[in-house]
Amino acid sequence: MRIAIASGKGGAGKTCVTASLAAVWDRPLMAVDADVEAPNLHLFLRPQLTEERTAWLDVPQLSPEKCLHCEKCRDICSYKAIASFVGRISIFPDMCHGCNGCFAVCPSGALTRGKRELGRILNGSALDGRVGFLMGRTRIGESMTPPLLRQEQARLTELLAERDATAEPDVLVDAPPGVSCPAVTVAREADMLLLVADPSPFGFHDFRLAHQAFVPLHKPVCVVTNRSGAQGNAEGDAAVRAYCREQGLPHLGELPFDRAAAEQYARGGLVAELSADWRQRFERLRDALRQAASAGKESCHA
Pick from 151, 155, 222: nearest CA to 4: 222
Contact 124, 50 (CB under 8 A): yes
Contact 175, 4 (CB under 8 A): yes
Average pLDDT over all residues of the chain = 93
2-55+118-298 and 59-117, same CATH topology: no
Percentage of the chain lying above the pLDDT 90 cut? 88
pLDDT of residue 165: 60
- What CATH number labels 59-117? 3.30.70.20
CA–CA separation, 251 and 234 (whole Å): 16
Domain ranges of the chain: 2-55+118-298, 59-117
CA–CA separation, 293 and 191 (whole Å): 8
Most confident of 87-101, 115-129, 157-171: 115-129
pLDDT of residue 296: 66
CA–CA separation, 32 and 18 (whole Å): 9
Instruction: Flag whether the pTM goes above 0.85.
Output: yes
Pick from 220, 151, 213, 222: nearest CA to 191: 220
Judge: domain 2-55+118-298, CATH 1.10.3470.10.
Answer: no
Alpha helices by DSSP H, the chain: 14-24, 42-45, 72-76, 101-105, 146-162, 181-188, 201-214, 234-247, 259-266, 276-295
Per-residue DSSP letter, 80:
-
The string of pLDDT tens digits covering residues 74-115 is 999 999 999 999 889 999 999 999 999 999 999 999 999 999
Q: How confident is the model at residue 44 (pLDDT cuts 50, 70, 90)?
A: very high
